[in-house]
A and B are shown apart, each in its own frame.
Chain A
Amino acid sequence: MNLLNRLLSFGRVRRARRALADDPTPRNYLMLAQQYALAGRTGDAQRTCVEGLAAFPENIQLSRYHQRTRRAEREQRLSELHRELAQAPRARLWRELCEILIESDELARAEEELTRWLARDQDPEARYLLARVLLARFYADRGREQGRAALAALDTAIEHLPGDLRPLRAKLDFLTKLGAWKDARDCAARCLAAEPGTLELEGRFRTLSARAEDSPPFERALYEVERSGKLVGEDALRDARTSAGSVQALLRELSTQPDVQAVLYVRGSTALVQGPKGATAERTARSVQSILAGSRSTARRLGLGQVFQIQLEGSFGTLSIAPGEQDAGAILCSGPLGRSREEALLSMAGLNAATGGGGERP
């Protein structure tokens, strides 16, 4: 950022701070955070978002902006780590890089880096992180193959890190989520042997012992999870998410604007569509999903990182898609998108809203 821009941004930040002091609304918090981000002060932008979210916890735009600033900071750190690793590779840098990638759900990239790390110096920490990658993949896909691979990786990590409780705890959580109570109880016993007298572990051991009598074996539990697609205790979490709010109100609000032809919210293989009906709605949703998948793949191959926005313009109008980590919002309008609609679209992505009930295209 050059000197002129820095001077201008200083004035804009000061004005935004004054506006917030006069009238502490979510919009003013957002404006100040945006000005900080434009000035390259992502840390201050994050702190402003946190402060705003403490005052207005339900505000979607603030929470979305908070996520975006965090993501931007994470991407910046990733590129720094890549640069440092190219110059002087060492375990601490690999570990931080892989942890960031696992937390941001970029499992394929994390696995690639871990394979490289393991090929270089067989660090036991890399084995534990690889087990975490495989566990995350199982939690996402719930297939038997992934489950077996995750268990094997956890056992290897336990073997290579004998005094470390982290792989043991990860295995305990994995077996508990599967409902393989007997195996989970044995694992809890090993945890207690490594860390005797821990109250939380003792409580878990007692609960698991009570359930162990009619426990399915590991393979059977894995099969049940693959068949139903549900982990133990997941229903409660799903209910909690449903009550967190629905994206449909936002879709309806956007679709009432005159030049908006369609508004979509896509998550997994489900799409909520406002505007077109029937087969057209279905085709529009399929097209959006296809564009999304192709664009993510292109960005990955070009080394551009996570996709924030895809915009297409043509004789059909403007189609803008804002992908989140697991979901995406899309809007099709006949004219230009405009600032307010763009912000609404960006706030839609990353909501991870429940898509059940009322979707046009399940």
Chain B
Amino acid sequence: MIALLEPLARLPGVEFVLLISHDGVPIAHVHRSSEAPHEESLAALAAAWLNDIGQAVAPLGWHAPGRACLRAARGTLVLRRSESASLVVCLGRETSPEDVRLSMDGTLARIERARHGRAHAERTPAPPAPIPYRQGSAPVEEDLSPASRPGHPPGN
């Protein structure tokens, strides 16, 4: 997961990249500066902010926003929400949220693809063995073809 976040963290102006669950639990993080913010508190505050916004706009019949930016005097917080997680990026003072829009979208799409791929792999049963083999050591009568015995693969 960190490998997916690293290209985003390498962009100029990006100070901290964090992937969080919707309930504010940090999943993975990457930071550039030596003085990293506390990822747990950042994750909790970012998730709480997004939930607050969701609640504030709910009376208008709106869904929670897919993207939220908070531009302040000492930096910018950008959140991008997907189906399963939220991507949080902290930017320096000189960086605009528009500078990381495409990269954030791309990173989140890759994360979602990776998640779907893994889930798909878990749902699919293991492929059959390339060469069928006989299970057990039941005696086989010489004059009966193997296909006529249910539960036993043909061949061998």
Contacts and interface: CB of A to CB of B under 8 A. Distances in A.
Interface of A: 1, 71-72, 75, 79, 280, 283-284, 286-287, 290-291, 294-295, 298-299, 301-316, 319
A298 B74 contact: no
Given A287-B57, A290-B56, A312-B65, 10 more contacts: A1-B94, A75-B73, A298-B45, A298-B46, A298-B49, A308-B73, A311-B68, A311-B69, A312-B57, A314-B65
Contact of A291 (B42, B46, B53): B53
Contacts of A316: 57, 60, 62-63, 65
B68 A312 contact: yes
A128 B49 CA distance: 37
Interface class of chain B by DSSP: mixed
A284 B74 contact: no
Residue with the highest number of chain A CB atoms closer than 10 Å, among B49, B52, B70: B70
Contacts of A315: 62-63, 66
A-B pairs, 5 with minimum CB distance:
A305-B73, A304-B72, A314-B65, A75-B73, A290-B56
17 contacts: A79-B74, A283-B60, A284-B60, A287-B56, A287-B59, A291-B53, A291-B56, A291-B57, A294-B49, A295-B49, A298-B46, A299-B77, A306-B73, A309-B70, A310-B68, A311-B67, A314-B66
Interface residues of B, number: 30
Contacts of A280: 60
Residue with the highest number of chain B CB atoms closer than 10 Å, among A294, A308, A315: A294
Given A294-B49, A295-B49, A314 B67 contact: yes
B62 A314 contact: yes
Contact of B53 (A302, A306, A312): A312
B69 A314 contact: no
Interface string B79-106: 0000000000000001001000000000
Given A287-B57, A290-B56, A299 B70 contact: yes
Contact of A299 (B57, B63, B72, B97): B72
Contact of A307 (B64, B65, B71): B71
Interface in B19-62: 42, 45-46, 48-49, 52-53, 55-57, 59-60, 62
Contacts of A284: 60
Nearest to B101: A313
Contacts of A295: 49, 53, 70
B74 A75 contact: yes
Given A294-B52, A314-B63, A308 B57 contact: no
Contact of B70 (A286, A290, A298): A298
B146 interface: no
Given A291-B56, A294-B49, A304 B70 contact: yes
B110 to A, nearest CB: 20
A97 to B, nearest CB: 15
A72 B71 CA distance: 13
A109 B87 CA distance: 30
A286 B42 CA distance: 27
Contacts of B45: 298, 301-302
Nearest to B74: A305
B56 A305 contact: no
Contacts of A310: 68-71
Given A283-B59, A291-B57, A309 B49 contact: no
B63 A308 contact: no
A311 B66 CA distance: 11
Contacts of A283: 59-60
Contacts of B97: 311
Nearest to B58: A287
Given A287-B60, A294-B52, A298-B48, A313 B67 contact: yes
A257 B57 CA distance: 23
Contacts of A290: 52, 55-56
Contacts of B72: 299, 304-308
B70 A307 contact: yes
B142 to A, nearest CB: 71
B75 to A, nearest CB: 5
Residue with the highest number of chain A CB atoms closer than 10 Å, among B63, B69, B97: B69
